[in-house]
Structure 1
Amino acid sequence: MPSPRRRPLLVPVLLCALAVLAARPTDGTDGDGGPGTALGPQVARLYEEAATATRQYEDGRRSAEEQRAKALEYERLLDGQRQKTGALREDLGRIARAQYRSGGGLPLTARMLLADDPEEMMRGQRAVSRAHQAVDRAVGENLRAEARLAADEARARSAWQTLEKRNADLARLKKKIEGKLEAARSRLEGRADSSVAAGSCPGAVRLDQPDINADRPWVAPVETYELSASFGSGGSRWANRHTGQDFAVPVGTPVRAAGAGRVLKVSCGGAFGIQVVVQHAGGYYTQYAHLAAVAVDQGDRVGAGQWIGQSGTTGNSTGPHLHFEVRVTPETGSALDPVPWLSARGVPLS
């Protein structure tokens, strides 16, 4: 649950920001490079915008549920307070009825004259009066508590209903951004396939880089993923055994350098489609294959977590994913199992 800090006030700002994001053009052009040259960065940006919209939508849903729970709790407390007030009113009625039956309908002077023990009668009268006043005070306090609870319930219910409406607006904006992302993915995939079929590798299209944590020398090659084909698994798509670890991700997902190093090779064609090979210290190499776009050139220095390309389905691929290898030489045939290799460097995969 989010903290009760004034989170709902952030929602209007968010909706305005997302409205601007959703209204951005997605025709695949940049200011000076001609049609299609900015498609990769556009997909990466839309990924971030969709992720932001999703996070904010989920935060809004949690806030709405919190406000709904508060409203229901106030309603429960209010019912209990009303029952308590009703019981006190009944007590007051019983006192009044008992007083009447014991002669409370006669004037006080007449009751004193008729009483066997006037002093005892006065003590009883004062006790009844005090009981009457106590119940009356309790009823008043309970009525004030009812009013406070009713006001709290009304505020919580109003906040919940407002958040529900804003969440509906946010869900529509999120869906709009995701629709643009899906269209841009399709164009990116089509352009990558055309380049590979023509035998001409697309040049590097630089991406706005994320903030990189310098304290992490190694990272997973993609941030969010599902593991699919593993190292050494068999299948008709491979001549022998699978030589890497596959990460199932949508087309256009930013691909990160697993560690610092130098880009040794950028190529396209063949079973791996568009691929990047990075050389690391210690005699290790990592390969990133089946890409849809690259963001580096041969010879570039890269840091751990730097975006070097975007996932795709080029080459010998049955669906969008990243094929990731760790090798002891730049070429195929020297691959290690990437999962324990990364785990030994503080990057467990799951």
Structure 2
Amino acid sequence: MPSVPAQVTPSRTAMADPGPLHRLDDLEAEARLRLDPVHRDFFAGGAGDERTLRANETAFDAYRILPRVLRGGGERDLRTELLGETLPMPVLVSPTAFHRLAHPEGEVATARAVGAVGTVLVVSMASTTPIEAVAEAIEPSDRSARLWFQLYPQPDLGFTASVVSRAEAAGCRALVVTVDSPVFGRRDRDLRNGFLDLPPGYCCENMRDPETGRVRDIVMDATLDWARIEWLRATTRLPIVLKGILHPADARLAVAHGVDAVLVSNHGGRQLDGVPASIDALPAVVAAVGGRIPVLLDGGIRRGTDILTALALGAVAVGVGRPVLWALAARGERGVSQLLDLLRAELARAMTLAGAVRPADLTREMILDRVPG
């Protein structure tokens, strides 16, 4: 895992209350002022020359929305059916590591904010707060919130099974299995900063061995294959979502292996540099799946119009990752709440302007073919 020199510890610069949130970009600007530069680079950076990192956002610029008019419908209904449950909006919080480097309350603050909205928080295996504490952070009145657990399958199958059991016992409702990481991507910013491990007092709490109390390293396993997915399918009754699908052939294999959903993702541009932006890979994956299982997307979502574009191209819901870290670093729990509220409001407005009452009204015909250049 990335490491920080011993003298580097999480730090935050005191700032006045910034008030209402008008743009997601404002959160990133505020967070950059508060975060230690080493941690800021860890959150912001990507692999290699960061071409895919940049493409995730810029690719949306090439799509054009073709709105419908005179469709009435009144108030927008953003509710979304996913894996047998109804979400209040088609926006999830994607798994991201090390929230306590962004804010002292870390994943607990994130969970409270997501719990208040009632959507899905995908808790990272590399969380700096144990899954049990994340679950307990959600108020009883917010139990409509959904926790999913992101898993890197480990070569030690017994330990992997114990982590899955912990997630099940904590009330997680799905496993999000990351399949694009047989090794770590080469992240030049972290190498330049010497970010090779967490500071003292911080660890990946979900990697704590239940028998010894020792915290294991997360092993990126180059032997991971479809047989491991079959083993996992036999190990848990939770729905399995494969995260990191870009090729349509892999989407078809996921369906054949009984996976419950796929998440089109390039790991935020942090693994193989030069792969397509998530939004560019989405249509072919949707076609390959053919409606047999839900297709989700993360990577580059920054506006309600981005969400609308992804939904119209066939995604059932989208995930946001880095913006949550910026919100947490900038404004804590309140920042994450403001972020989700802003995305919900922007999506509702965009749908109204595009002539859609509910997400299902957004269809491929409402997006012009990708504009060259």
Q: TM over 0.5: same fold?
A: no
The TM-score by the shorter chain falls in which range? Answer: under 0.3
Bigger radius of gyration, 1 or 2?
1
Name the structure where helix makes up a greater proportion of residues. Answer: 1
- Greater relative contact order, per chain length (Cα 8 Å cut-off, separation 6+): 2
TM-score normalised by L of structure 2: 0.23
TM-score normalised by L of structure 1: 0.24
